[in-house]
Amino acid sequence: MNVRALLCVALLLSCAQSHSPSQATNDDKDSGSSVTRGEVGSHVWFDTSQSIEVREAWYAEVRGPDASAPVSGSLCGTLDRAVMNAAQLAALDEIVLVPLTEGCTTDGFRYLELTVVETDGQRAAYRDTGCNFLRVEGAAAMLAQGSFSRAAFPQSSLTPCP
C-alpha cells in the first residue's frame, strides 16, 4: 500500500472513532474544550437530546421507642423536547456534572435521577448523589445538588412512579 492510501485509511479511522458514542465530547457546549460526556465538567443536554425522564426517590427512617414506620416513595415524569418551553430548555442546557461525593446518610435518603434520551435512542442517567450505594452504576460524575431547576420543572408535574 502506498503512503497516500495509508493516510486515507488513517483519516477514516480517526473520523469513525471521534463519532463513536463512547468518545462523544461536549465541543458544542464547552467553547472548544474536549470533555467526554458523563465526566466531571460535561453537560447532560445536547442538540441531539430528545427527552428527559425524571425520578425522585426517598426513604426516611425515624429511630427510637416512639418511631413510626419508615416513609418512602418515588415520583416520575417524562418530558419531550417538542413540548418544553424556552426556560426548561435553558435550565437543561446549564446543567454540568460535578465530582462524585461520598456522603451517605444513615437515616434515609433522597435523590433525583435525570435520564436524557438521545434521538438515536441512547440513554444516559445521572443522579444528584454520589453515595456509593445510591449512585448510578459506573458513574464518574454526578448532578450537583439543586442543579435540576424546580422553577422550570415543578415537582407538581411528577406523578407516583409505577
Give residue-wise pLDDT tens across range 84-132.
999 999 999 999 999 998 778 878 899 999 999 999 999 999 999 988 8
User: Which H or E element spans position 10?
Assistant: helix 3-18
Residue 35: predicted pLDDT: 61
Q: Give the sign of the dihedral formed by CA 153, CA 151, CA 99, CA 26.
A: positive
| CA end-to-end distance (rounded Å), the chain | 60
Residue 18 resides in a domain:
no
Contact between 123 and 52 under an 8 Å Cβ cutoff? The reply is: no
Residue 34 resides in a domain:
yes
> What would the grid cell of residue 139 be?
458513574
Residue 103: give the domain boundaries. Answer: 27-160
Q: Please determine, for residue 4, whether its predicted confidence score (pLDDT) is greater than 70.
A: no
Residue 85 resides in a domain:
yes
Count up the domains in the chain and report the number.
1
Least confident of 4-8, 45-49, 113-117: 4-8
